[in-house]
Amino acid sequence: MPRILVFCSLLALAFSTPSAVWAKSAPYEMTAKKHSWFSFNRPAKKNPMDQLALARRLQADGQLKKAGKAYRALTTTWPGSPEATLAQWGLAQTLDARGKLEDAFNEYNTLATKYTGNYPYDSIVQRQFEIANATMDKRKGALLIFGGFKAPERAIPLFEKVIQNAPRAPFAAESQYLIGHAYELSEQLELAVVAYMNAQNRYPGTEWSEKAAFGRARCLIRLSEESPNDEEALDQAWAAIIVYLNAYPNSEENNLAQAYRDSLLRRRAKASYDKALFYDKVAKRPLAAVKSYENFVRQYPNSEWSALARARIKELTPLVEKLNEN
């Protein structure tokens, strides 16, 4: 059969087909997720509207735990329904009201990251920030007369999620600062330095940038104290406190910052003098000793070791001249 005839036959068949075949497909009808017989999230109602109404009645009656289960059953069974957003919000609220703050934070986070519309986004993230703050100050492991202990580092991932959800919110800069403060309180000083620097870089000109600059200097000072022979650590601490004093001359921390500066200055002077003393007394290298003493006096002319250094230069100079002649 010639190809042109086959084509014409198919074309005629297409136009003779009933119009129902070419009609628009039926709109998508939402189907419920099938639950196994032992499922804990089986809804009590047959559709999301009735399930939402049930959960809200339970919440209004103060049956928060049952309301939370009803909300969760809705979000699990009908995750794509318009009611799922309101159910997710209700689930977070019931956990919040029950004092399950970290669980509530996670459900608020699911709401903020997976659902859109029908809820006040800014208020939700604001509540997340408040929960992160409460988590930072919360004591854990309380037993009888003992008050337990704080674990501020548990708040760090919460603050990080707050910043992800609202990087330009009024509380974002404070969240970044508090990440550094939490690391500092938990003695993770290197991580605190990085977090404080992020607060300075991301949110310059804010009060939290200023607090972060001081926190960073404070942590670098502590790190230098933990490694007293590390000249680089001492130099970094010195640079940080000098930058802070120059950038914020009217800071409320100014007196303490000046005390840090004076302490670091003394430590730097002592380290410089000790280097010259090493060349002098241990290595027995008078030329290197004189040069180191002279460098020390030039940098720290009024230190408590300056007089000793000048006297030693005077004593070693004839020996150095004699060695040069030989």
pLDDT at 11: 36
CA–CA gap between residue 86 and residue 79 (Å, rounded): 11
DSSP helix/strand/coil, 57: helix
pTM of the model: 0.81
φ and ψ of 149, to 5 deg: -135, 155
pLDDT at 29: 46
Which of these CATH numbers, 1.25.40.10, 3.40.430.10, 3.30.950.10, 1.10.645.10, describes 42-119? 1.25.40.10
pLDDT at 282: 95
Cβ atoms of residues 250 and 258 within 8 Å: no
- Domain 120-139+148-252, CATH 1.25.40.10 — does that match? yes
pLDDT at 18: 36
All structural domains of the chain with their residue ranges = 42-119, 120-139+148-252, 273-326
pLDDT at 31: 60
pLDDT at 149: 55
What single DSSP character describes residue 18?
Answer: -
The amino acid occupying position 76 is T
Residue numbers of the chain with a pLDDT score lower than 70: 1-40, 139-149, 326
Question: Which residues, 6 or more positions from 47, have their beta carbon under 8 angstroms from its beta carbon?
Answer: 78
DSSP H or E stretch at residue 67 = helix 64-77
pLDDT at 19: 35
Angle subtended at Cα 184 by Cα 178 and Cα 189, rounded to the nearest 5 degrees: 130
- Express each pLDDT in 259-270 by its tens digit: 999 999 999 999
φ and ψ of 273, to 5 deg: -65, -40
CA–CA gap between residue 275 and residue 267 (Å, rounded): 12
CA distances from 308 to 101, 195, 272, 276, 314 (A): 63, 43, 13, 11, 10
CA–CA gap between residue 286 and residue 316 (Å, rounded): 6
pLDDT at 238: 98
**Cα dihedral value 303, 305, 307, 313, nearest 10:** -120
Which residue, 296, 303, 304, is CA-closest to 277?
296
What is the Rg, in whole angstroms, of the alpha carbon atoms belonging to the chain?
35
pLDDT at 34: 62
Cβ of 238: how many Cβ atoms within 10 Å?
A: 20
pLDDT at 117: 85
CA–CA gap between residue 135 and residue 258 (Å, rounded): 34
DSSP H or E stretch at residue 293 = helix 286-299
Q: Assess whether the region 42-119 and the region 120-139+148-252 belong to the same CATH fold.
A: yes
pLDDT at 146: 44
Tokens of 109: 């986070």
Angle subtended at Cα 221 by Cα 217 and Cα 222, rounded to the nearest 5 degrees: 120
CA–CA gap between residue 95 and residue 64 (Å, rounded): 8
DSSP H or E stretch at residue 150 = strand 149-150
pLDDT at 150: 75
